[in-house]
Amino acid sequence: MIKETIIQARQIKLFFESHTVLKVLVLAALLFDTVSTVYFMRRDGIAFELHPIVRHSAMLWGPVLGTFLSAFVFKAVTSFLLEAFYLRGYAVYMYLSMICTSTFAGFYNFFTTAA
């Protein structure tokens, strides 16, 4: 029991010391994607969102709060927990793919229309 607690404490310490720049870029890309998603939902409607979790939370809590909770908070917390406890060796690849995907999605949301 004590040994597992010490191991988890070391993992958390390593989490805060590693990949700081990538984590900031991930948060910036997720925020960009979230803001652009709110923009397109208010412009075209919630029904055009393809991601089911984002769509349903936007229907439940509205396009701003629902999108922020599901698109930003959920994705950030999930990726950081995966890196902290399970996928440390793949963190760079995971973060780079998240940065690219979220940035592309943000531009896509701003520059396309549903009609």
d(CA 92, CA 54): 25
Per-residue pLDDT tens digits for 8-66: 777 777 766 777 888 899 999 999 999 999 999 999 889 988 889 999 999 999 999 99
What pTM was computed for the model?
A: 0.80
What's at 115, amino acid-wise? A
Please check the confidence at residue 113 and state whether its pLDDT lies above 90. no
Domain that holds residue 106: 2-111
Q: What is the mean pLDDT of residues 62-80?
A: 89
Count up the domains in the chain and report the number: 1
Instruction: Please count the CA atoms within 13 angstroms of the CA of 47 that sit on its side-chain side.
Output: 2
**What value does the mean pLDDT take over residues 64-92?**
84
Higher pLDDT, 113 or 61: 61
